[in-house]
Every structure is written in structure tokens, then in C-alpha cells.
Amino acid sequence: MPAMTSIAFRATGAGLSLGLVAAAAPTIFFPAFPVVAVGFVKTIPLLHLAAKFILAFPIVYHLLGGLRHFYFDYASRGLETTEEVDNTCKIMIVATAVTVLLLTFVG
């Protein structure tokens, strides 16, 4: 499980970078693109929820994954067994799911 969460951490980082470039590139030729795109997405409720989820998931997952790696780098104890490392993966996945669902449906 740690390998899968680590790969997903890297993938969300790459996706966030590529997504930012893809979202910003049209503004070179059409400066009002972000306003028009957000206005269009808000007109369709299901699309609005999907967009919120698609934006929230990589941001939250990458943030929590970064905090997990930060903890790994600076923890003096608490990671002696693979079970403890697996538990950090499970905590991160559950925290990501709860946070993303809250941001999607409440925020």
C-alpha cells in the first residue's frame, strides 16, 4: 500500500502541474476564459459537483501525502514496522475521502 500511495502522490503532483498549465494556457488568447468557464460549470449542477470533486481530490490528496512524507522525514519513532507505515496510508486515504466529500458537497 505505501508504494501505491507514493505513486498516487507523484501522479497528483504531475496532474496538478499539467492541469494548471492547461487551465491557464487559454487565457493567453482569451483573457476572459476563466470567468466564462466557471460561469458555464455553475449553470449545470451535476457538472458543478463533478468539477468540485475533480479539483478537490488531487489538491487534498497531494497536501495530505506531503504532510505524510514530511512526517516520515522528521519522525524519530513510530515507523518501526510495516503495519505502522500501512496505518499512515489508511489514515491518509480516509482523511482524503472525508475532506474531498466535505469540500464537494458542503463547500
Binding positions for heme: 62
Q: 55-73 in b/e burial notation, b at 16+ Cβ within 10 A?
A: bbbbebbbebbeebeeeee
Residue numbering of the annotated binding site: 62
> What is residue 1's DSSP assignment?
-
DSSP H helices in 25-81:
33-43, 45-74
Residue 41 burial (CB < 10 Å; 0-12/13-18/19+)? middle
